Structure 1
Amino acid sequence: SGVVPYSHSYLPGEMQVSFLPGSYMCHYVLDGKPINVFAQLKANRMFIFPKGTVNFKLGIDYTLSANKGGGMVYDHDFPPIQGDGQSVRPRSYESLPSMHTLSAFVENHTEYSIGTTVLSIQPGVRVSRLMIDKAQALRGDINAVDPRVNVSYKFLTADNNHVFDNLSLVGGYGLATKMPTMAYLYPTPAYFDFVSYNSYAGADNPRNLAVMTTFVVPNTANHNLKPACSKKFEIGLNGRVGRVLGSITFFKENIDNEYGFQSVPISAGYNRYVIPQADMVSSTIPSYIDGALHYTMADGTVKKAPAYFQREVRSYSMPANVYETDKHGIEYTFNFGKIKPLSTDLIIDGAWFWIKRRSTGNGFNSSRVVTDVDPASGITNYNTYLAVMPAGSGSVRSRVNTNFRFVTHIPAIRLILSTTLQVVWQESVRNIYEDADGNPLYRAATSSYGKPMLEVLPVGYYDKEMNYFDWNPSGVERPEELVTRYSNPDYFTRQDYPVTCMLNFKLTKEIKKYVQISMIANNFLKFSKVYRQNKIGGYKELYSPMYFGAEIKAKF
C-alpha cells in the first residue's frame, strides 16, 4: 500500500521511527519448544458381597505445561503484518509462566443384584487447582469441583424374559470445568501507534521523517475471568436382542462462561506536528530533536513546529467469558451383527443435534466525524464515538444424520473392507440477536434507498473523553454509523439445506498378526455441491473434499 511509517517500540511515548517499504519479503520463524509433564498415582480396592460388589478408586495427578520457544521471530524492520488498530509485537513463549494443575479424584462403582435385575451406581468427584502467576494474570489460583454420577439399571435379562438378552436404563449427570489456556490467562499487551508526523519525499531524501506515538496497555488480562463450566444430563436405553446390539441416548448440555475476547475502550491522546504552510518549501528539512519537531529553512534558520493535541477512542481485545451454549439431542447406534452370506457386519449410528450459541458480552461500533479543519495547520479535527452494542448475537443450528457402515471381513485372505454411507437428512442454521429471555433485539428499518433492512440499536456510547452516555441518536453526529445494520431482511430467517449423502471407503490388508496396510478414500465418488444460501446469503460447500490416503500399522 506504499511506504508507511512503522513503530516496533515496546515502550509508550513519542519517538522517531523508520519507514516500511512499499513491498518487501518477510521471513519469520514460529519457534515453539513445548514441555508437557504428566504424573498420576492411583489406587483401587474391590469389596465383594453376596449380592454385589463395590469398587473404590482414588488418585491424584499433576500436569505441567510450558513452552521455552521464542514465539514468532522476525526482523523488526520487516514485520509480517503492519500496525493497524491494535498493533502486534513479537513475544517470546518463554516469557509466559508455566501452567501447573494438581487434581485429586475419588470414584465408587457399586453393583447390586435385585432378584434377576442389576443396579449399578457410579458416583465420583474431581477437585482441581490451577496454579497461576498472580502478577501476570491479575487473579489468584482457580479451583474447580466436578461431581458426576452414572446410573444403570439392567431390568430385563435372559433370566426374566425371552426377548431381551439385556435391556438397561442408563442415566448420568455431571459438571465438567474447562480451565483457561495460556492465551487467556496471559494475553499479549496491546499497542496502538499514532502518526504524529509523516513526511516522505522519495528514497534517500533528506526530507523523509516519521514520528509516531505509541500507547501501551501493558497487561490485558482479565481479573474476572472464570472457568468455563459444562452441565450435562443424559438418559437412555441400551441392550441386546439376539445378534442385534443397540443404544439410544437423550442428552442435554449447558455450557456457561465460554472463552473468547471482548473489546475494552480506551482513550489515547497524542501530538500532531505540522510545518506551517508558509514555511513548506522544497528545501525545508524536518528533524526530531529533544521530543519536538524542528525544521531548517533554506537560509539555515531552525524553527520549532507547532504541536496540536488530538485524542482518539480505540479498543483492545481482552480475554473474557463471552459465550454460552445450549445443546440437546439424541444419539443412537445399532449393530445388527454379521450377515453370514456376505460376511458383512452392518452398523447404523447417527444423531440429532440442536445447538444454540449466544454471545454474553457487549461489542462496539466506532465512528469518526469531521468537526472542522484548522486553517493554520490544516489538521482535521474529529469527534470520535464508540457505540456499545448489546450482547445476544449468535446462531441456532440443527442437524439429523445417519451413518450406514458395512464391514466385510474375509479371513481367508486376511482382508477387511469398510464402506460408510453418510446421510444428512436435515440441516439448518438461523442467525439470532436476542436478549437472555429470547426476545429479538433487531427491528425492521428502511435504508436510504427505500429498501427494507434490519437494525440493532446501541445501548449507549462513549465520546473521545471516555464519557459514557445512554443511547440517544440526537447526542451524536451521524448516528446511523453507530447502528448495526443488515441489508438482508432475511438475515435472521432459518436457512435450510438439502439432503446430502457421501461414500467413504477403507481397505485393510492384514499381514500376519503384526502389520496392517490400509487404503482410504473419502468421498471417493467425488460428490460436490456449492449451495446458494437464499436466506442468509453467501454460499456453503455441502460435501467434504475428496481425498485419498494410506496408512501402515505395525505392532511389536
Structure 2
Amino acid sequence: MNFTAESKGANFFRSFDFSASVSSEFDLIDRWRYRANSGNVPIRTAVEEGVFDMEVLPVRYEATLQVDNKPFYANAKAVALLGADTPLSRNTIRIGAEWNMSKNYGGGLLYDVTRPFTDLMSSHPRRYDALPALHRLSAFLEDNTTITAGEWRIEIMAGLRTTAMANLGSRYTLQGKFHFDPRANLSVTLPAFDMAGDPMRITFAGGAGWHTKTPTLDQLFPEPDYSYYTRLNYFPADDESKRRVNVEVFKHDPTNYDLKAARNFKWEVRGNAEWNGYGLSVTYFRENMTSGFRTSTDVLTRPTANTTPDRSRIWSSPDRRSSNGFPTRTKRYSRPSASRPTEAAHSSRASNSRSPRGASGRWPRNSSSRAPISKPAMRTANPSTS
C-alpha cells in the first residue's frame, strides 16, 4: 500500500509519503527414509531436569521429517519532505519513521526425537514459532543543504537517526531503549581550472558519525543447554530386557538479558579529482568500536555424590522414570562472570559422562563423594562484561 501527497506550490511542505507492506511464505517439506544402524544406541530426549532412563535407538527403523516454515514480515514507513530555497542555497529536510516486524509462525523441524532422521539432528528441537516476534522502531531527521557561490559548490548533510527494539520482554536491557546515531558530511567542490586543454575538477569531502548494531534473534533467545550425567550404564549383551542407561539431566538457560547494542564511531576524509574522463579518489577513514557482543563460555559446577542404588527396585518398578532406586539429589549452579579459554577447554573435557560400571558390567563400589562435574555453557555477552 502506498499513499503520496504533494504540494502544488513552492511551499515549505513539499510532500508526504506513506507505504506499508506485508509478506508471508508457506513452505512444507515432507521426507521419509529407512535407517539401519550398526547397533543399539542410547539417545538423549529429556527436555526437563530430573532423573530419566535414556531411550534406546533401534537398529532399524523408519524415520519421517517435516520442515514447517512460515516466515511473516510487515513494514510501515512514513516520510515527510520539507524545503526552503534561497537564491544562493537549496535546503531539503526529510523527517520520517519506520516500523519493521518479523516472525516465523512455522513449527520448524518436526520429527520423532526417538527416531531421528539423521545422526546430526538435535534431540531437543525448538519450534520456529516459539521465538517471539521481533519489532524494530526507528525515526530519522536529515537536512541537506547545497550552497552555490560562483563556481564554488558546498554540500552539507546533517542527520540524526534513532532505533529501538520492542517485544523483547521487560527483563532485557535493550527492551524499548532508543539509540541515537548522529551523522554529518561536508563536501566542497573547487572551481574548475584548465589543464592540458581540459577542465580539472577537484572535490574535498569529509564526514563523521555513529552507527549502532543490535544482537540477532539467536543471540537474544538462545536455545537451552542440556547436560547429561550418567548415573548407571548397564548394557549386557545377553539380555536386552535388562539394558539400562540412567542419567540425571541438568537444564541451563544461556540467555543474557544484559546484552547491549554495539556502538561504532567512524570518520573519514576524501579527495576526488576528475580530468578528461578520468577520475581519482583517495579516502582515509578510521573506525573506533569500543563495544560489541560475542558468544563466550561459562563454566557450570554442580557438586554431587555417588551412592549405591537399591538393586531390588532397579527392575521391579513399572515406571522406571519415577521410581528407579536412586536417591534424589539437590543441584546447585555456579556461573562465573568470566572464564578464560583454558578453563573452558578443561571444563569441556571434564564434562564427559563417566560410566559407573567397569568393562565387565559389574555394579560400582560404594563411593561417598565424587569430584564436581562441570560443563561449558554457551552464552552471548558483551566483551566488557563477559
State whether TM-score is above 0.5: yes
* Matches of 1:258 and 1:266, distance apart in 2: 24
Superposition pairs of residues 12-411 of structure 1, within 5 angstroms: 12-21=49-58, 27-79=64-116, 89-134=124-169, 137=172, 140-158=175-193, 164-202=199-237, 205-217=240-252, 219-268=253-302, 274=308, 285=315, 287=317, 289=320, 291-294=322-325, 362-363=340-341, 364-366=344-346, 368=350, 377-378=364-365, 382-383=370-371
* Matches of 2:238 and 2:201, distance apart in 1: 84
Q: CA offset at residue 81 of structure 1?
A: 7.1
Kept after mapping to 1: 8 A contact 2:167/2:175: yes
Q: CA 1:26–1:314 in 2, change beyond 3 Å: closer, same or farther? A: farther
Q: CA offset at residue 157 of structure 1?
A: 2.1
* Matches of 1:49 and 1:160, distance apart in 2: 33
* Matches of 1:80 and 1:128, distance apart in 2: 42
Tell me: higher relative CO, structure 1 or 2? Use CA pairs within 8 A at least 6 residues apart. Answer: 2
Q: Which residue of 1 aligns with 2:4?
A: none
Q: Which has the higher strand share?
A: 1
2:115 aligned counterpart, secondary structure: coil
Kept after mapping to 2: 8 A contact 1:138/1:221: no
2:126 aligned counterpart, secondary structure: coil
Q: CA 1:176–1:198 in 2, change beyond 3 Å: closer, same or farther? A: same
Kept after mapping to 1: 8 A contact 2:234/2:357: no
Q: Which amino acid aligns with 2:364?
A: S
Q: CA 1:68–1:309 in 2, change beyond 3 Å: closer, same or farther? A: closer
Q: CA 1:255–1:362 in 2, change beyond 3 Å: closer, same or farther? A: farther
Q: Which amino acid aligns with 2:371?
A: N
Q: CA offset at residue 253 of structure 1?
A: 1.9
User: How much identity, in percent, do the aligned residues show?
Assistant: 23
* Matches of 1:163 and 1:236, distance apart in 2: 23
Q: CA offset at residue 109 of structure 1?
A: 0.7
* Matches of 1:114 and 1:203, distance apart in 2: 98
Provide TM-score, normalisation by structure 1.
0.50
1:79 aligned counterpart, secondary structure: coil
2:175 aligned counterpart, secondary structure: coil
What CA deviation, in whole Å up to 9, does each residue of 1:437-477 have, x standing for no partner? Answer: xxxxxxxxxxxxxxxxxxxxxxxxxxxxxxxxxxxxxxxxx
Kept after mapping to 1: 8 A contact 2:227/2:375: no
Q: CA offset at residue 270 of structure 1?
A: 5.8
What CA deviation, in whole Å up to 9, does each residue of 1:262-283 have, x standing for no partner? Answer: 112222356757569xx89xxx
Q: CA 1:286–1:3 in 2, change beyond 3 Å: closer, same or farther? A: farther
Between 1:12-21 and 1:223-232, the stretch displaced more is: 12-21
Kept after mapping to 2: 8 A contact 1:5/1:198: no
Q: CA offset at residue 111 of structure 1?
A: 1.2
What CA deviation, in whole Å up to 9, does each residue of 1:69-109 have, x standing for no partner? Answer: 1122221102367799xx75111111211111111101011
Q: Which amino acid aligns with 1:104?
A: A
* Matches of 1:124 and 1:211, distance apart in 2: 62
Q: Which amino acid aligns with 1:170?
A: A
* Matches of 1:361 and 1:233, distance apart in 2: 35
Q: CA 1:309–1:386 in 2, change beyond 3 Å: closer, same or farther? A: closer
